[in-house]
Amino acid sequence: MAKLGGPVVVGVDLGTQGLKVLAYSPSERVVVAVAQAPLDLDARADGSREQDAAWWVAALQTCMQQVDPAVRARVVALGVSGQQHGFVPVGGSGEVLAPVKLWNDTSTQDECAAIEAALGGTEQAVAIAGNPILPGYTASKVLWLQRHKPQAYARLRHILLPHDYLNFYLTGAYGAECGDASGTGFFDVRKRRWSDAVLRAMDPERDLRLLLPPLLAPTQVVGTLLPSVAALLGLPSSVQVAVGGGDNMMGAIGTGAVVPGVLTLSLGTSGTLYAYSAEPAVSRQQEFAAFCDSTGGYLPLVCTMNCTASTEIMRSMLQLQLSEFEQLLASAAPGAGGISAVPFFNGERTPDCPSGKGCFFGLTATNSGAGNLLRAVVEATIFGLRTGLAAMQDAGLTATAVRVIGGGSHSTEWRQIVADVLRVEVAVPEQSESAAFGAALQALWCHQHSQGEAVAISRLVTDHVACAATKGARPRPSVAAAYDLFFADYLKHTRIVQALYQ
């Protein structure tokens, strides 16, 4: 990549499978470096999904060492995007007290039930804070620590999210922001503050408010790099660390979903679909999550736990090379020969079925070829997201365009399925690492504000976010109409699976 002489901003994306670093030159509008390092995952049969926070720090150091020292010397600001909902329990000296339970950890169902019971039920939880208490969210993980690791809980002094923890590592300062915080379950989305009622339900004997970091503004700088960390990473100690945010919030910035009408759909390990809203958007039926964004607005979001996670399972089961995926997917017609998949291999959040299992309906002696099986799963990944989109539209949100990101966005056929099922035009951003790119743009935004340049975020994304001209897809009316029928079958079969695996 080209070496440039101007200032550079860096986005760090802490994901489930790996950590990525992206360095961007705003003056030239060019990415000057990208580096990544894999992360392990401790997965157990009880639904536990955990990582060690030290792995994140080591991965960050590895990535920074891959970046040209001349590029690192020009960095002026850095932003962190983090996987949402994880719980990093930190002691009084900054030590991590236990493995980090992640967003896809489903081992805390009993704790969810206990918190909701203390609040008066699911509907009351939504009325109080805007969201139910789901296994993926942070709230139940805190109660789990109290029940299962009481000694660590007794030493607990700071409740941090993954991106909060990296900010702390970089600067020594504790802070949070409304976007990522709204995915904890103990944040009042409507009032944009921690929820006293939910915190009391989690632990009536301890004031958990004392363990929470202060909430920072979207354009606020957390601090500058600690000198020791700057030396270790090979960065100037003057580098400003922006407030950062959750991966979905940073993905919204990196794809331009900071104005009404533009949706972002991430086809990653999980599937997510979100859109900007100027006002709080809450689903009483819990069909989508009510989140804040990281620009001062709101980010209603639907999340499924089985997207590329499920297609990778299918690829392994069918013994397919990655190069065979696209051809096999395209070989099957819309509707997958009558097969309907409910790919809840990891349980499911949308719909709420944490104990769900992967199921197929409609298999016959003549339709159960590899192409139909694969296509049924891919179609199901979008059907699950369509449920949430319909609820968002009922709540008043508009959908004029969708920006598709994540591993699935590289598939031409998958993008066409998105267009046909959702009935909206699809585009693919030029910067595929949208969360890292969004974190870099937020770092630029915060840096500009610190210099007295009050640039609007909408102007910033207009200047820096572009879509690939050759990767778009438009809905085909006849196919879209057929998908309405297939979608109805999917809804019927998900209800069966929910009843089967309560």
Dihedral-angle region of residue 160 (phi above 0 means left; psi in -120 to 50 means alpha; beta otherwise)? beta
Residue that the structure tokens 């979100």 belong to? 274
Q: Which of 96-100, 177-181, 397-401 has the lowest mean pLDDT?
A: 397-401
Q: Is 286 left (phi over 0), alpha (psi -120 to 50) or beta?
A: left
pLDDT at 258 over 50: yes
Distance CA(186)–CA(201), nearest Å, equals: 10
Q: What is the pLDDT of residue 171?
A: 98
Partners of 343 in beta bridges? 358
Which positions ≥6 away from 390 have C-beta within 8 Å? 287
Mean pLDDT across 483-487:
97
Which residue out of 247, 420, 484, 489 is catalytically annotated?
A: 247
- Fill in the DSSP letter of residue 133: -
Q: Checking phi first, is residue 440 left (phi over 0); if not, alpha (psi -120 to 50) or beta?
A: alpha
What pLDDT band is residue 1 in, cutting at 50, 70 and 90?
Answer: very low
| pLDDT tens readout for residues 346-370 | 899 788 898 999 999 999 999 999 9
- Can you tell me the distance from the alpha carbon of 86 to that of 114, in angstroms, rounded to the nearest whole number? 19
Which residue from 299, 247, 178 is spatially nearest to 434, judged by alpha carbons? 247
For 14-45, write each residue's pLDDT tens digit. Answer: 999 999 999 999 999 999 999 999 999 999 99
Residue 115 host element (H or E): helix 109-119
Average pLDDT of the chain, as a whole number: 95
Q: What is the pLDDT at residue 287?
A: 85
pLDDT tens readout for residues 283-317 = 877 789 999 999 999 999 998 989 999 999 999 99
- Residue 247 annotated as catalytic: yes
Q: Order across the sheet with 49-51: list the strands.
A: 42-43, 49-51, 100-101
Burial of 412 (0-12, 13-18, 19+ CB in 10 A): middle
303, exposed or middle or buried, with CB in 10 Å at 0-12, 13-18, 19+?
buried
> What is the residue-wise DSSP string for 320-372?
--HHHHHHHHHHSPTTGGG-EEEE-BTBBTTTTBTT--EEEES--TTT-SHHH
**CA–CA gap between residue 233 and residue 225 (Å, rounded):** 10
pLDDT digits (tens, 9 = 90+) for 74-99: 999 999 999 999 999 999 999 999 99
Helix (H) or strand (E) holding 77: strand 75-82
Backbone angles phi, psi at 325, to 5 degrees: -60, -55
Measured between alpha carbons, how far is 429 from 110 in angstroms, rounded to an integer? 40
Assess whether pLDDT exceeds 80 at residue 159. Answer: yes
pTM, two decimal places: 0.89
Amino acid identity for residue 182 in this structure = S
Say if CB 139 and CB 202 are below 8 A apart.
Answer: yes
Three-state SS annotation for 256-271: CCCCCEEEEEEECCCE
The pLDDT-based confidence of 474 (bands split at 50, 70, 90) is very high
In this prediction, residues 385-395 reach a mean pLDDT of 91
- The vertex-386 CA angle with 381 and 388, nearest 5°, equals 110
The residue among 40, 29, 38 whose CA lies nearest residue 7 is 29
Q: Report whether pLDDT(3) > 50.
A: no
Burial level of 27, CB count in 10 A (0-12/13-18/19+)?
exposed
What is the distance between the alpha carbons of residues 198 and 117, in angstroms, rounded to a whole number?
11
| Torsion angles phi and psi, residue 448, rounded to 5 | -60, -45
Q: Tell which residue, 222, 390, 392, has the closest CA to residue 299.
A: 392
Q: What is the pLDDT of residue 75?
A: 98
In this prediction, residue 179 carries a pLDDT of: 97
Q: What is the pLDDT of residues 103-133, one digit of tens each?
A: 989 999 999 999 999 999 999 999 999 999 9
| φ, ψ for residue 267, nearest 5 deg | -100, 75
How big is the chain by its Cα radius of gyration, in Å?
Answer: 22
Confidence category of residue 269, pLDDT binned at 50, 70, 90: confident
pLDDT value, residue 4: 52
Provide mean pLDDT across the span 48-57.
98
16 CB neighbour count, 10 Å cutoff: 19
Give the model confidence (pLDDT) of 440-468 as tens digits: 999 999 999 999 999 999 999 999 999 99
The domains of the chain, with CATH numbers, are: 8-247 (3.30.420.40), 257-428+472-502 (3.30.420.40)
